[in-house]
């Protein structure tokens, strides 16, 4: 029925429609063809175009005053029934008016459509189209009303003090949630459409007088260069636009919290809202920003500094603790004091595996349990804890497959890895601990150091939309360090972070000076 232009032919946006050959209308129809003035002809064409869509409603009625025939076309699942019945059909059928004057439709967004392409995308997009006999134009009426989730607490990013509104699956609503925080005319919105079939709306939000033009241009070209069928979720979009897709580290941040997104916009970053996705993208990012959470700014600065430091400690523990265990047990045992070594040896005496095998087995089981708990429905999910904690933990030690100390290592690593607030970053680090364990098993402490050097070398060579990933550490920016390892009091952060490429305008005045 619909024949898409091949991308290689150059044009990519419009559909080619063909009326099937058995129809009595033998002519071919394209998206640019205009509507006919004869209503019956128009409805016939519509039926042809949507012949595979039995849910299409074509409501034929006559307009009250002039007894003119008219038709309202819509897809019932995508439209708001109440709006159609009370604000379109009712006034049209009951009130008296003159046709050449304005229609008595009480709907905000009404637009005149002329071509079949417009009609089709309007109907498929959830609008309804009003066709009137004798007019060769139709009306697109905004009656969108597809099934929608209520704005609710963000599921994956829990916060104690942040707002309780999370993003939903409708792009316009998400933009509204952001606008509520920044009702300012410099908040810019750029819209693009990607996906030949999916036609996903992508909106870029940023502060025009703050955000960097270079980054904007880079981001725009990268998004416009995407040629795919459809983008289903934000993760796919990231893979198409990020700088180094081979890296384990996320270079673009995902969030489902409007307050987080807004805080990044105010720092001079860009937020990308993808219609139909309950999370938005934040770019450009750096390594440090994945360790910041919205709660840091809501709690007292001493406490949040402490939490920040503990998160970096968690990063170190996740990456190095299992590897160090392997290295110190199997290679450099002279580092451990005698008594401790003896007690470890005692706990390991029954274990048949080499330390690295023991570590890899236990860490893999941990990952399996984590993944299982993630996919299971919540009531059953709790059993994973029981199975994992009691059966695997207790019984495996009792039988002598793993040592007690290994259980401690695995548990501490698991808890530490969950301390990292960003899911993508914490999974990246969890993934990297396996090569680290292997390096430790092969070369001991030297292997760990070489692994660390490789990770650091990779981190400093990464860029996020052309801005350095390692900032504010390398290149060093003192002003940005106020919000890195430590969280300085808010009134001391007078300028926006330079690492985003933002035009370094003053973020705030002299607050709390004389008191």
Partner 1 sequence: MKKYAFNEITVMQYIFLINGAQVGTGVLSLPRILAEKAGTDGWIAIIIGWLCSVSASIFLVKAAAKYPEDTLYEILIRFFGKILGKVLISVYMVYFAFSAWTILVNACLYIKAWFLPKTPEYIVLLLFSIPTFVIARNGLRVLGRYSELSFYMVIWIPLFLLIPLKDGNWLHFLPLLKEGWRPVLSAVPTTVTSFLGFEVAFFFYPFLQKKQHAVLGITIANTLTILFYVFVTFVCYAYFSPDGIIEFNQPVLNLLKLIEFRFLERFDMVLLAVYLIVVSTAWIPYVYLAPFCFSQLLGKQDHSNYVIILLLIIIGMVFWLDPTWNDSEGWQKMVVKGGLGLAFVAPPFLWVYSWIYEKFRRRVSH
Nearest alpha carbon to residue 291 among 238, 235, 253: 253
Distance CA 203, CA 199 (A): 13
When the beta carbons of 228 and 449 are compared against partner 1, the nearer one is 449
Distance CA 294, CA 161 (A): 8
When the beta carbons of 337 and 352 are compared against partner 1, the nearer one is 337
Does 450 contact partner 1 by CB under 8 A?
yes
Nearest alpha carbon to residue 172 among 276, 63, 43, 299: 276
CB of 453 closer than 8 Å to CB of 460: no
Smallest gap from residue 135 Cβ to partner 1 (A): 58
Does 195 contact partner 1 by CB under 8 A?
no
**Number of other CB atoms surrounding residue 58 within 10 Å:** 15
Does 481 contact partner 1 by CB under 8 A?
no
Does 76 contact partner 1 by CB under 8 A?
no
Does 456 contact partner 1 by CB under 8 A?
yes
Strands (E), 26-102: 29-30, 57-62, 69-74
The percent helix, strand, coil of the chain (3-state, each to 5) is 45, 15, 40
Interacting residues of 1 by C-beta distance below 8 A, sequence separation 6+: 17, 18, 20, 49, 51, 52
Show contacts with partner 1 in window 460-479 (CB under 8 A).
460-461, 468, 470, 473-476
Q: Cα 138 to chain center, whole Å?
A: 37
Does 415 contact partner 1 by CB under 8 A?
no
Show contacts with partner 1 in window 424-443 (CB under 8 A).
443
**Number of other CB atoms surrounding residue 13 within 10 Å:** 11
Does 458 contact partner 1 by CB under 8 A?
yes
When the beta carbons of 202 and 448 are compared against partner 1, the nearer one is 448
Does 171 contact partner 1 by CB under 8 A?
no
Distance CA 356, CA 127 (A): 61
Does 446 contact partner 1 by CB under 8 A?
yes
Nearest alpha carbon to residue 354 among 442, 446, 288: 442
When the beta carbons of 258 and 470 are compared against partner 1, the nearer one is 470
Smallest gap from residue 485 Cβ to partner 1 (A): 11
Does 448 contact partner 1 by CB under 8 A?
yes
Show contacts with partner 1 in window 321-340 (CB under 8 A).
331-332, 334-338, 340
Does 449 contact partner 1 by CB under 8 A?
yes
Does 117 contact partner 1 by CB under 8 A?
no
Angle, vertex CA 229, rays to CA 223 and CA 233, nearest 5: 65
When the beta carbons of 150 and 334 are compared against partner 1, the nearer one is 334
Please, what is the angle between helix 404-417 and helix 423-461, to 10°? 80
Distance CA 431, CA 314 (A): 15
Does 453 contact partner 1 by CB under 8 A?
yes
Smallest gap from residue 422 Cβ to partner 1 (A): 21
Show contacts with partner 1 in window 5-64 (CB under 8 A).
none
When the beta carbons of 166 and 470 are compared against partner 1, the nearer one is 470
Does 355 contact partner 1 by CB under 8 A?
no
**Number of other CB atoms surrounding residue 476 within 10 Å:** 10
When the beta carbons of 340 and 395 are compared against partner 1, the nearer one is 340
When the beta carbons of 247 and 419 are compared against partner 1, the nearer one is 247
When the beta carbons of 298 and 457 are compared against partner 1, the nearer one is 457
Distance CA 202, CA 225 (A): 13
Does 457 contact partner 1 by CB under 8 A?
yes
Q: What residue ranges bind partner 1 (CB under 8 A)?
A: 331-332, 334-338, 340, 443-450, 452-454, 456-458, 460-461, 468, 470, 473-476
């Amino acid at each position: 029925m619909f024949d898409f232009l091949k991308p290689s032919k150059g044009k990519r946006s419009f559909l080619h429609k063909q009326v099937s050959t058995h129809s009595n209308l033998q002519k071919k129809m394209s998206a640019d063809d205009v509507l006919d003035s004869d209503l019956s002809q128009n409805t016939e064409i519509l039926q042809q175009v949507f012949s595979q869509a039995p849910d299409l409603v074509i409501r034929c009625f006559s307009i009250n005053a002039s007894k003119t025939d008219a038709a309202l076309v819509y897809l019932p699942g995508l439209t708001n029934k109440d709006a159609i019945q009370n604000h379109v059909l009712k006034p049209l059928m009951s009130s008296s008016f003159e046709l050449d004057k304005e229609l008595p439709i009480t709907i905000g967004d009404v637009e005149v459509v002329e071509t079949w392409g417009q009609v089709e995308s309007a109907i498929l997009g959830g609008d309804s189209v009003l066709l009137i006999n004798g007019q060769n134009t139709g009306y697109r009426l905004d009656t969108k009303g597809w099934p929608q989730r209520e704005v609710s607490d963000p599921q994956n990013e829990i916060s104690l003090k942040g707002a309780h509104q999370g993003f939903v699956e409708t792009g316009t609503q998400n933009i509204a949630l952001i606008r509520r925080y920044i009702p300012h005319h410099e908040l810019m919105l750029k819209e693009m459409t990607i996906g030949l079939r999916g036609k996903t709306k992508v909106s870029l939000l940023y502060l025009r007088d703050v955000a960097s033009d270079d980054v904007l241009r880079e981001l725009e070209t990268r998004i416009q260069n995407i040629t795919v069928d459809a983008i289903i979720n934000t993760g796919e979009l990231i893979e198409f636009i990020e700088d180094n897709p081979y890296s384990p580290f996320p270079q673009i941040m995902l969030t489902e919290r409007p307050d987080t997104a807004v805080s990044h916009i105010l720092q001079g970053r860009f937020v990308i809202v993808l219609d139909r996705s309950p999370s938005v993208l934040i770019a450009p990012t750096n390594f440090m920003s994945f360790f910041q959470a919205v709660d840091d700014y809501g709690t007292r600065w001493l406490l949040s500094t402490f939490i920040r430091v503990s998160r970096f400690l968690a990063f170190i523990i996740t990456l190095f603790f299992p590897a160090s265990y392997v290295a110190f047990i199997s290679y450099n045992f002279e580092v451990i004091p005698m008594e401790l070594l003896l007690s470890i040896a005692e706990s390991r005496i029954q274990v048949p595996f080499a330390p690295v095998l023991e570590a890899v087995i236990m860490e893999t089981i941990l990952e399996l349990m984590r993944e299982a708990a993630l996919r299971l429905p919540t009531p059953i999910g709790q059993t994973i804890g029981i199975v994992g904690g009691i059966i695997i933990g207790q019984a495996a030690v009792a039988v002598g497959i793993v040592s007690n100390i290994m259980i401690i290592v695995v548990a501490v690593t698991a808890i530490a890895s969950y301390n990292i607030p960003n899911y993508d970053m914490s999974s990246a680090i969890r993934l990297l601990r396996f090569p680290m364990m292997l390096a430790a098993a092969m070369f001991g402490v030297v292997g760990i150091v070489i692994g660390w050097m490789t990770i650091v070398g990779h981190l400093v060579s990464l860029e996020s939309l052309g801005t350095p990933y390692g900032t504010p550490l390398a290149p060093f920016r003192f002003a940005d360090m106020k919000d890195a390892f430590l969280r300085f009091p808010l009134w001391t952060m007078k300028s926006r972070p330079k690492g985003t490429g933002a035009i370094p305008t003053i973020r705030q005045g002299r607050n709390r000076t004389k008191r």
